[in-house]
Amino acid sequence: MARNKYDIDEELEKGFDFGKLKRSFVYIKPYKWFMIGALLLSALSSILALVTPTLLQRVMDIAIPDGNRGLLTRLSFLTLGAILLSVVFGALRGVIMSYCGQHMIYDIRKDIFDHLQQLPFSYYDSRPHGKILVRVVNYVNSVSDTLTNGLVNALLDLMNIVFIAVFMFAMDVKLSLIILSGMPVLLVVIFLLKNVQKRANFVLNNKSSNLTAYTCESIEGVKVSQIFNRQQENMEIYSRLNDVYQKAWFKSAYLNNAMSPITENLKQLVLALVYVAGILLISPSIEVGVLIAMATYSSRFWQPVVSLANIYNNFLKTTSYLERIFQTIDEPVDIKDTEGAKEIDNIEGNVEFRNVSFEYEKGVRVLDNVSFTVKKGESVAFVGPTGAGKSTIINLISRFYEPTEGQIFIDGVEIRDITIESLRSKMGIMLQDSFIFTDTIAGNVRYGKLDATDEEVRSACRTVCADTFIEKMPDGYETGVTERGGQLSQGQRQLVAFARTVISDPAVIILDEATSSIDAETEKLLQTGIEHILKGRTSFVIAHRLSTIRNCDKIMYIDKGRITECGTHDELMAKKGDYYRLHNAQ
């Protein structure tokens, strides 16, 4: 069976490197003093832990043989104090590290989310939402430990290594060199493993991303799956994705775990070498005491090396997460304010399309040389077959996509020269699918105008005839609704979305199939409301039901991305062309 279409891996543009870690210093920097504090605490805690054996030695060698009770008490209290302080410092470090870690991932998450809010429609068109989700949630959560504890421990270990090396070399150079002889071997191992580990982490991330993407899609499409009894097939697809994820996980885990037995063995091997060499050298140049001390140093030296090797593995993994996190943050915002873009306070609502062509995907023309002018206050309707390009035209007016060719003007100013925020704030756009947020009904309406009073919310709902059904709901305007608008019918969702558009009091109003799910009777009632809303505003209305657009000042018939007919209802009827045929068919 072919690998399924849900198992498509993302390729990353830039190679993976530790430069990514360097970049994460932006997030570490604000907490650098905390981190330094934690480092000091850890160092103190280690030193205190080292003090206790000397205290014990003094108890055994001095206090007890001398029968010195005073010294014994003092030493006992000192030991207790050292242990307590060591524990307190350790705990404090833990608290500081969690504080830093959580704040760092808070900042990273905030930056990704902020960026996601700005990315254009096209970004979301081209990838499953689950793949975006996994970056914001899973990957971000996974980097905090390495960026905090990993970093601090790496520094501590490095310090330890240098510290012990100095002591070692001061005692015996030859044996020290033997202890160090394991290092080149370790470096070769790291070098050899690095690329396979990188690859394995990369594959693992892809598989986890594919699995999440499919999970998200299945949840979103669960109703359709159940209607078509697709549970079995879905389970199979899921199992396949689950399998490859599991395999990738094991592979990555084996490779990452390979490091620890290797370092552990090296540690023991080096220790053996020290003894062998020591015994061979023992007379006359070496004393037994030195040999024993060097053996201790050897394990002391290799302890932080082993721990560094583990931290290194975590860095590898973290880098592979950071890679994806930064890739999302770096995703270019194609549609942004151009330099010198102007803020517009008021717009009259004159709209002009000049030779506009548009492609969603390179080479596939969706709009072909569209030109028209609309004067302020005019209402324009777009009609035409499904997929003709009607929604695309209105997506261009509000600059959700950029024309491939040609220009769009509002009041004579090219929309590229207007700040996006001020442009969109003057437009009321009701998209073809009415999204309802998890909030109350009033909250959803207020999405269009944050500071709207209760009365304004009511009045907007009255205008679109939504008041009747809302007032019948258990908590009226305060009834809670969920993301998919669970409690509302399709038509009711449309009415709420409509009210949301109306309340923003836009100069240009765009309605894409605003009333398609509403029954004919309500629509008739709504008609007066709509006419009232459209009065004095430039408006673009898309409707398949021609009765709703009959009175528009201009009707444009769109076919295959071109305007094939344009005129009033009567003119187009008299022309007996496409519009006439469409009208009669209804």
Ligand X SMILES: Nc1ncnc2c1ncn2[C@@H]1O[C@H](COP(=O)(O)OP(=O)(O)OP(=O)(O)O)[C@@H](O)[C@H]1O
Positions that interact with Mg ion (CB under 5 A): 391, 432
How many residues touch ligand X (CB under 6 A)? 12
CB 200 within 8 A of CB 252: yes
Return the residue matching tokens 């001398």. Answer: 66
For 68-93, give one letter per residue: b (16+ CB within 10 A) or e: eeeebeebeeebeebeeebeebbebb
360 binds ligand X (CB under 6 A): yes
The whole-angstrom separation of Cα 586 and Cα 569 is: 14
Look up residue 438 and give its two tokens. 């998890």
* CA 67 to each of CA 52, 59, 61, 78: distance values in angstroms, whole numbers, following the listed order: 20, 10, 11, 18
Query: Applying CB under 6 A, which of residues 206, 392, 494, 504 lies at the interface with ligand X?
Result: 392
387 binds ligand X (CB under 6 A): yes
Q: How far is the CB of 227 from ligand X (least distance, A)?
A: 22
The whole-angstrom separation of Cα 299 and Cα 267 is: 7
391 binds ligand X (CB under 6 A): yes
Q: How far is the CB of 352 from ligand X (least distance, A)?
A: 19
361 binds ligand X (CB under 6 A): yes
Residue 388 contacts which entry, ligand X, Mg ion, none (Cβ below 5-8 A, type-dependent): ligand X
Report the residue number whose CB is nearest to Mg ion.
391
Own/partner contacts of 121-129, CB < 8 Å, gap of 24 or more, are 121/395, 121/400, 121/401, 122/334, 122/360, 122/401, 123/331, 125/360, 127/10, 128/213, 128/214, 128/216, 128/217, 129/213, 129/216, 129/217
Name which of 225 and 432 has its Cβ closer to ligand X. Answer: 432
Q: How far is the CB of 363 from ligand X (least distance, A)?
A: 12
The string of DSSP codes covering 530-560 is: HHHHHTTSEEEEE-SSGGGTTT-SEEEEEET
555 binds ligand X (CB under 6 A): no
Name which of 432 and 487 has its Cβ closer to ligand X. Answer: 432
- Cis geometry, peptide bond prior to residue 53 (ω within 30 degrees of 0): no
Residue 19 contacts which entry, ligand X, Mg ion, none (Cβ below 5-8 A, type-dependent): none
Name which of 104 and 388 has its Cβ closer to ligand X. Answer: 388
Look up residue 428 and give its two tokens. 């009321």
Q: How far is the CB of 569 from ligand X (least distance, A)?
A: 19
CB 504 within 8 A of CB 426: no
Q: How far is the CB of 437 from ligand X (least distance, A)?
A: 22
Name which of 101 and 389 has its Cβ closer to ligand X. Answer: 389
Name which of 61 and 361 has its Cβ closer to ligand X. Answer: 361
388 binds ligand X (CB under 6 A): yes
390 binds ligand X (CB under 6 A): yes
Q: How far is the CB of 153 from ligand X (least distance, A)?
A: 47
Q: How far is the CB of 327 from Mg ion (least distance, A)?
A: 32
Binding site for ligand X (CB under 6 A): 125, 360-361, 366, 386-392, 432
